[in-house]
Amino acid sequence: MEKLKISDYRKIAKERLKGQWGMNAGFIFLSTLLGMAIGQVTGVVNNGSVQSVMSFLISTFVLFAFSYAIYYVGLFVVRGGRADIGQIFVVFQGKYYLPILIINVIYLIVQYVLGFIIFIPLILQGGLAFYFSLVIGAGSVDYFSLGQLASAGFVLLFLVTLFLFFFVTGIIGGMFRFAAYLRFDYPELSATDCIKKAWDLIKDRWGQYILLELSFIGWYALGALLFVIPLFWAVAYSNAATAAFYDQALKEKLDTKETMA
């Protein structure tokens, strides 16, 4: 089977999105809005510690489903379907919820471990409290420490480390996205089997996957500059292209197995 180029995946995405760009962008916007609204539930609690625990539980057991619903819709559209607003809740179906939840929890654990390793220089310089307030505290920082840490060297180290963290976890996130795709395609697979097979699919394609994701940076920047709203079109475009990348990887893997047989 002929290998596709980055431009080919983008072309497939644009072709499949014809006539439904607005629906896909709107789907992502509503998913984000609904997630934000549910996340505000913690605002009714005055206790900071309880609020943090509630926020963690809601994010882990509820909000993750909206992100994976976006992945589901991207794959659905690439295969010729038309996005539907009702698909926002698709991951809450019994056949998807628990396995996708497990995949997401494993991803979070891997993300925290990688974060800890990557942030070791910052931890050594700024202390454990700073690390946990940054990574586990959803980006909130104790401001009493900023006066001590706001040196030029520390700021540069912080920016480099933060970039590395998002870059590495973004790449690893691709494997877990593939695992979710596999679960959508093969409901009989366990969460761990999906992760193993996802690794098998993407391990020889890391370079192309990274280049594909990086090719949308300009679209994201443009969307952000144009008052954010166009950003949802950029996300819809990227989402469909990534789904096309997975779909092709799966076809190539199945074709290889048939050839070997």
Per the structure, the complete domain to which residue 62 belongs is given by: 6-260
Q: Supply the pLDDT for residue 162.
A: 81
- pTM value is 0.83
pLDDT-derived band at 201, boundaries 50, 70, 90: very high
Q: Is residue 150 part of a domain?
A: yes
Percentage of residues of the chain with pLDDT beyond 70: 82
**What does each C-alpha distance from 93 to 86, 205, 208, 210 come to in angstroms?**
12, 31, 33, 31
Let me know if residue 1 belongs to a domain: no
The mean pLDDT of 28-53, rounded to a whole number, is 79
Domain total for the chain?
1
In a domain, 212, yes or no: yes
pLDDT at 191 over 90: yes
Q: Tell me if 233 sits within 8 A of 17, measured CB to CB.
A: no
Two tokens, residue 109: 């654990």
Instruction: Decide if 86 is inside a domain.
Output: yes
Residue range 60-64: average pLDDT?
A: 91
Quick one: pLDDT at residue 159?
79
Number of neighbours of residue 118 by Cβ within 10 angstroms: 19
CB-CB contact of 208 with 193 (8 Å): no
pLDDT at 1: 58
The answer to whether residue 31 is domain-embedded is yes
Name the band, by pLDDT with cuts 50, 70 and 90, for residue 46.
low
Give 237 or 139, the one with higher predicted confidence.
Answer: 237
155 within a domain of the structure (yes/no): yes
pLDDT-derived band at 184 (thresholds 50, 70, 90) equals very high
For residues 122-130, average pLDDT: 60
**Sign of torsion, CA 155 215 246 100?**
positive
Q: Which of 13-22, 129-138, 215-224, 252-261 has the lowest average pLDDT? A: 129-138
Classify 215 as helix, strand or coil: coil
* pLDDT tens digits for range 81-106: 999 999 999 999 989 999 999 999 99
For residue 259, the model assigns a pLDDT of 41
| Domain assignment of residue 241, yes or no | yes
- Take residue 140 and report the two structure tokens written for it: 């909130």
Most confident of the following: 12-16, 48-52, 54-58, 116-120:
12-16
Mean pLDDT over each residue of the chain, to the nearest integer: 84
Lowest mean pLDDT of 72-76, 102-106, 138-142, name the range: 138-142
pLDDT at res. 132: 55
